[in-house]
């Protein structure tokens, strides 16, 4: 089984050594071509990838996201552009899509190959192990305990993940024929749409536990400084909710706990005020709680009202 590699990025080179480690980790995969969807502000990311491709004898195809009649590039337009280019211009059996902050662990490709021996499997996803520093990326013992595993699987079933995925050509063709494109407005939840599209098309999803290490130094720096993008989260949760693609694993439990983020505001406020001062900490606590409440509502709404027909983007 042969593969093509798609890298979807915006300013990936700013992640420094992590971005280079991501590319190096793909060498376990016998791919010939790299599809680079580069929506960066400058050419530094493209030049970094070109240097890697030239050094390892890889063909490189570079483009920006297609707009799909949307006013800006998003993760959805980037992912869809890679899918369309792959289906229309390449012949490989599998398209691999990687985030620019994910480093594949040794054995990732072998596990993907094993998954695809079952012809019912359309998507392979490797568990991503989050670490807090670059030094932890090379640790071979990074693992996931029972509690974290349960949390991961719950999140995956609620909204999918696309950090490191391998997608079967025939499955992508089926999805494009039945549902068209990933709605370009799904900037943060295109992964949920993709998972529901695979499920609605009758293709299986295989989760591998060799997995990958994820570390975004840019995002970690923002977290350390207490920088929040709550308005972005709120906007895209509302958009995803219209498609019904975020769903509860346990609707009853989520319904009972719907107001828990509001109830817990005092506790969260104390923590945030301790770190960021009274006014900023209180505002952060209220905003975070609202995001959690909105997400819970979206899960319940999706579970009660989703249908596969909702996946088609009507513009």
Structure tokens given for 135: 């030094």
Q: Residue 239: pLDDT above 80?
A: yes
Average pLDDT, the chain: 91
C-alpha–C-alpha distance, residues 3 and 26, integer Å: 11
Decide if pLDDT at 221 tops 70: no
Q: In this model, does residue 226 exceed pLDDT 60?
A: no
The answer on pLDDT for 142 being more than 70 is no
Q: 10 Å Cβ neighbour count for 279?
A: 9
102 DSSP β-pair partners: 214
| pLDDT per position as a tens digit, 3-46 | 999 999 999 999 999 999 999 999 999 999 999 999 999 999 99
Q: How far apart are alpha carbons 18 and 31 in whole angstroms?
A: 21
- State the pLDDT at residue 138: 67
Q: Are 216 and 101 in contact, with CB atoms under 8 Å apart?
A: yes
**Over residues 257-267, mean pLDDT:** 93
Which pLDDT score, from 0 to 100, does residue 18 have? 92
For the segment 286-311, the average pLDDT, to the nearest whole number, is 95
Answer yes or no: is pLDDT of 307 > 70. Answer: yes
pLDDT of 145: 72
The CATH homologous superfamily of the domain defined by 3-220: Spore Coat Polysaccharide Biosynthesis Protein SpsA; Chain A (3.90.550.10)
150 pLDDT tier (thresholds 50, 70, 90) = confident
Domain ranges of the chain: 3-220, 226-311
**DSSP structural state of residue 108:** H
Which of the two residues, 98 and 150, has the higher pLDDT score? Answer: 98
pLDDT at 280 over 70: yes
Query: What pLDDT does residue 140 have?
Result: 56
Q: How far apart are CA 264 and CA 283, in angstroms?
A: 14
Strands 33-38 and 3-9: parallel
Give dist(CA 207, CA 211) in Å, integer. Answer: 9
Residue 144 has pLDDT above 80, yes or no: no
User: Given pLDDT bands bounded at 50, 70 and 90, which one contains residue 273?
Assistant: very high
């Amino acid at each position: 089984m042969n593969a093509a590699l798609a890298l979807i990025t915006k300013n990936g080179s700013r992640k420094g050594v992590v971005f280079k480690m991501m590319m190096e980790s793909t060498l376990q995969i016998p791919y010939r071509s790299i599809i680079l969807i580069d929506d960066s502000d400058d050419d530094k990311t493209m030049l970094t990838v070109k240097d890697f491709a030239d050094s390892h004898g890889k063909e490189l195809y570079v483009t920006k996201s297609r707009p799909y009649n949307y006013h800006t590039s998003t993760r959805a337009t980037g992912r869809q552009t890679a899918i369309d280019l792959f289906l229309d211009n390449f012949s490989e059996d599998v398209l691999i899509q990687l985030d620019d902050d994910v480093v594949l662990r040794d054995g990732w490709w072998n596990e993907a190959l094993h998954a695809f021996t079952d012809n019912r499997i359309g998507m392979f996803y490797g568990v991503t192990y989050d670490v807090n520093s670059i030094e932890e990326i090379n640790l071979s013992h990074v693992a996931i305990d029972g509690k974290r595993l349960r949390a991961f699987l719950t999140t995956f079933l609620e909204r999918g993940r696309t950090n490191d995925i391998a997608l079967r050509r025939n499955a992508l063709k089926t999805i494009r024929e039945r549902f068209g494109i990933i709605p370009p407005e799904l900037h943060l939840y295109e992964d949920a749409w993709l998972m529901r599209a695979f499920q609605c098309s009758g293709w299986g999803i295989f989760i591998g536990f060799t997995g990958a290490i994820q570390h975004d130094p840019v995002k970690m720096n923002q977290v350390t400084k207490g920088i929040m993008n709550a308005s972005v989260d709120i906007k895209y949760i509302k958009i995803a909710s219209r498609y019904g693609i975020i769903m509860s694993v346990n609707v009853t439990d989520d319904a009972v706990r719907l107001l828990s983020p509001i109830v817990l505001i005092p506790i969260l406020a104390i923590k945030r005020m301790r770190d960021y001062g009274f006014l900023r900490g209180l505002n952060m606590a209220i905003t975070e709680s609202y995001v959690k409440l909105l997400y819970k509502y979206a899960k319940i709404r999706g579970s009660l009202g989703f249908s596969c027909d909702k996946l088609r983007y009507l513009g």
